[in-house]
């Protein structure tokens, strides 16, 4: 499915939801669900998506939808998928359903990791989509294990001694791939054709798959509402957020900015959560962030070029 075909479909999420102006999350959900042919069931962990699309008594969803607590979106959808297979075996269901779970980074990297790991290990036929806004944005902007190095959060704030988060973010995509699943991919709303391709591949692959998508947050990243796609693009062009996939254990880099590569400073300077990095006294932190980003990108690139089965 190309971008022109996808936009003709009825949105799985209707207008009128309560997401913040400029939020990337609705773009992610609509794009992912636009590639689904046939009926689909959506499981949604507690978080920004659940809160903004289903404030009682209203719902923005035009597909069957289940709300879960923070920690069990994958477990709940595992049960639904298992029940579906049992009913289909008995002839009570004839249609082919797809199953998609949505969770933020707090409900996936942290609270829901055990549930996700179990579902991946058991081999349920579903796709797990992470809209990664790099923190607990629904509850006030606390740090999560997806929060990148040196970002300012409410629980790891910038002060005289500590200058934001001191640790690098967890590598969730490789953790998921290490379960032996057939498909895992990292994508961005700044490259919709790439996102559509990966969404279709993930949803149509038999067994568990995962999509990890950067979801810029206006409220806690602190940037103007019209800069969401620009920030997402700068994340990719600075190699802060590489576009790559892991298929049957092989890593493939989908985009290398090369001559268009920009320094990470171009990405961080648009965000209030990183304003401290632009001060002269914090220049070593910005250099450290740049070094980590460059090293990680080179690892991915070398593995992609090697042709070796990594997982």
311 within a domain of the structure (yes/no): no
Distance in angstroms (rounded) separating the CA atoms of residues 50 and 29: 12
199 within a domain of the structure (yes/no): yes
Distance in angstroms (rounded) separating the CA atoms of residues 31 and 302: 30
Report pLDDT for 3.
56
CATH of the domain at 227: 3.40.50.970
Distances (CA, A) of 59 to 13, 42, 66, 112: 9, 13, 11, 24
User: Which residues of the chain fall short of a pLDDT of 50?
Assistant: none
220 within a domain of the structure (yes/no): yes
Number of domains in the chain: 1
Q: Tell me: the pLDDT tens digits for 147-161?
A: 999 999 999 999 999
Q: Which two tokens stand for residue 234?
A: 């700068």
Residue 91: CB partners within 8 Å, gap ≥ 6? Answer: none
191 within a domain of the structure (yes/no): yes
Domain limits for position 166 = 3-306
Report pLDDT for 7.
58
Distance in angstroms (rounded) separating the CA atoms of residues 37 and 196: 13
96 within a domain of the structure (yes/no): yes
Distances (CA, A) of 137 to 19, 46, 48, 109: 12, 12, 7, 14
261 within a domain of the structure (yes/no): yes
Report pLDDT for 11.
80
Q: With residue 119 as reference, give the H or E element that holds it.
A: helix 113-122
**Minimal CA–CA distance to 146: which of 127, 172, 128?**
172
141 within a domain of the structure (yes/no): yes
Report pLDDT for 12.
84
Cα dihedral across residues 173, 148, 33, 69: positive or negative: positive
35 within a domain of the structure (yes/no): yes
């Amino acid at each position: 499915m190309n971008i022109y075909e996808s936009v003709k479909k009825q949105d799985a999420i209707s207008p009128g939801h309560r997401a913040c102006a400029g939020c990337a999350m609705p773009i992610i959900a609509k794009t992912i669900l636009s590639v689904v042919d046939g009926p689909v069931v959506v499981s949604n962990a507690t978080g920004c998506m659940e809160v903004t699309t289903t404030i009682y008594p209203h719902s923005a969803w035009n597909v069957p939808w289940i709300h879960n607590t923070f920690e069990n979106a994958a477990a709940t959808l595992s049960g639904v998928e298992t029940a579906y297979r049992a009913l289909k075996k008995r002839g009570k269901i004839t249609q082919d359903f797809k199953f998609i779970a949505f969770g933020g980074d707090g409900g996936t990297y942290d609270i829901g990791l055990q549930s996700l790991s179990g579902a991946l290990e058991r081999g349920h036929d579903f796709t797990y989509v992470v809209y990664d806004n790099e923190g607990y944005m629904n509850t006030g902007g606390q740090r999560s294990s997806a929060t990148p190095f040196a970002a300012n959060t409410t629980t790891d704030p910038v002060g005289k001694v500590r200058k934001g988060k001191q640790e690098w973010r967890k590598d969730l995509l490789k953790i998921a791939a290490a379960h032996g699943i057939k498909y895992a991919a990292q994508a961005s709303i700044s490259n919709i054709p790439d996102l559509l391709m990966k969404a279709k591949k993930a949803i149509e692959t038999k067994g568990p798959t995962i999509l990890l998508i950067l979801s810029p947050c206006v409220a806690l990243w602190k940037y103007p509402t019209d800069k969401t796609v620009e920030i997402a693009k700068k994340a990719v062009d600075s190699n802060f957020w590489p576009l790559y996939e892991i298929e049957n254990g092989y890593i493939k880099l989908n985009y290398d900015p090369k001559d268009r590569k920009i320094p990470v400073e171009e990405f961080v300077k648009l965000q209030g959560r990183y304003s401290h990095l632009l001060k002269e006294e914090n220049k070593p932190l910005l250099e450290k962030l740049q070094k980590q980003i460059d090293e990680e990108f080179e690892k991915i690139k070398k593995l992609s070029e090697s042709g070796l089965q990594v997982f």
